[in-house]
């Protein structure tokens, strides 16, 4: 039997070209383009910006604009269709049934002081006394006798809501010397004031301290404020970090959400000091 190699070769070429054509169609169908606007929590924003940058590298025709302004802005913007995705650094309330939460990670809220402040832990009652103005000197904590500079978060910030809820305080009870918006402001102020105290995201605080910023986290009720204790569940002051959307989202928004919630994003989430929500 004579083998016609020319016919066999022609068949192989046809099959190869058909496969290439199918791949081309598939890639065309999966090609993503357009712009997303993401607004809200300043705690989540640096992470969201990095996730967005990684996603843009995978999809060069996509542009993602990440803007801060607080969790309240994230909720308002999504409700008004000003942004495609909102950022909310707390669990959604029962009254917020009109929006859909997509939990990215778990974070904690930590008290921070200047790195030269010798205190390592405070009790819940001591924190309440400091922030309510009942104790306004460091004398009984580190012996310095210097006035405590109390830094509080502005209304509309989820970190404030989490802080008030945990310590069972009303914001009117807080006696601040300075009111701030985002975590970076609080970290910068504490790094430049040896007598200041504030509360910020554990992930953000750890990241800053590891990169030479002159702050440190303070334990709560003798439990170290650390990512490790968030993972093992021992640190009590924790919260969810959420992306939020309306019920129906565009294909582009869904693709970015899927990427951000996938195992591919876990390394980035951990680099920012957060604990991936759906990690094994």
pLDDT per position as a tens digit, 40-63: 999 899 999 999 999 999 999 999
pLDDT on residue 150: 98
Decide if 217 contacts 115 (C-beta within 8 A).
no
Q: Taking the model in full, what pTM does it have?
A: 0.73
Asked if residue 221 has pLDDT above 90, the reply is yes
Per-residue pLDDT at 266:
95
Cβ-proximal residues to 22 (8 Å cutoff; 6+ apart), any chain: none
Mean pLDDT taken over the chain: 88
Q: Which of 146, 202, 155 is nearest to 179 (CA)?
A: 155
Q: Does residue 1 register a pLDDT over 80? A: no
Give pLDDT, residue 11: 43
Domain ranges of the chain: 34-106+240-276, 107-231
pLDDT surpassing 50 at residue 233: yes
Q: What average pLDDT does range 140-169 have in this prediction? A: 91
Which CATH code is given to the segment(s) 107-231? Answer: 3.40.190.10
In terms of Cα–Cα distance, which of 167, 124, 127, 123 is closest to 148? 127
Q: How far apart are CA 86 and CA 152, in angstroms?
A: 23
CATH architecture label of 34-106+240-276: 3-Layer(aba) Sandwich (3.40)
In whole angstroms, give the CA distance from residue 264 to residue 58: 12
Q: Is the pLDDT of residue 174 over 70?
A: yes
Given a cut of 70, whether residue 5 has pLDDT beyond it is no
Banded model confidence at residue 9, pLDDT cuts 50, 70, 90? very low
Bigger pLDDT: 9 or 104?
104
How does pLDDT run across 96-154, given as a tens digit for each residue? 999 999 999 998 999 999 999 999 999 999 999 999 999 999 998 888 889 999 999 99
What is the rounded radius of gyration, in angstroms, for the C-alpha atoms of the chain? 25
Same topology between domain 34-106+240-276 and domain 107-231: yes
The pLDDT confidence band at residue 249, using thresholds 50, 70 and 90, is very high
pLDDT tier, 28 (very low <50, low <70, confident <90, very high otherwise): very low
Residue 145 is predicted with a pLDDT of 87
């Amino acid at each position: 039997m004579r083998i016609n190699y020319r016919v066999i070769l022609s068949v192989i070429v046809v099959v190869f070209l058909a496969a290439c054509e199918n791949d081309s169609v598939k890639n065309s169908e999966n090609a993503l383009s357009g712009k997303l606007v993401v607004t809200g929590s300043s705690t989540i924003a640096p992470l969201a910006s990095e996730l967005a940058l990684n996603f843009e590298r995978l999809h060069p025709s996509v542009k993602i604009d990440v803007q801060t302004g607080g969790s309240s802005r994230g909720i308002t913007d999504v409700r008004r269709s000003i942004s495609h995705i909102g950022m909310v650094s707390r669990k959604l309330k029962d009254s917020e049934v009109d929006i859909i939460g997509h939990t990215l990670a778990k974070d904690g809220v930590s008290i921070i002081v200047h790195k030269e402040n010798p205190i390592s832990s405070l009790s819940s009652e001591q924190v309440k006394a400091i922030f309510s103005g009942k104790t306004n000197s460091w004398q009984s904590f580190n012996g310095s006798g210097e006035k405590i500079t109390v830094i509080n978060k502005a209304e509309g910030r989820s970190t404030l809501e989490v802080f008030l809820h945990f310590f069972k305080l009303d914001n009117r009870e807080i006696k601040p010397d300075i009111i701030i918006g985002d975590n970076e402001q609080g970290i910068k102020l504490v790094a430049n004031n040896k007598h200041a105290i504030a509360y910020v995201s554990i992930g953000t605080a750890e990241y800053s301290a590891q990169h030479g910023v002159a702050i440190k986290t303070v334990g709560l009720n003798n439990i170290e404020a650390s990512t490790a204790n968030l993972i093992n569940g021992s640190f009590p002051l924790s919260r969810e970090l959420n992306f939020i959307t309306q019920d129906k989202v565009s294909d582009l928004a869904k693709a970015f959400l899927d990427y951000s919630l996938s195992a591919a994003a876990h390394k980035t989430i951990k680099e920012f000091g957060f604990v991936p929500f759906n990690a094994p």
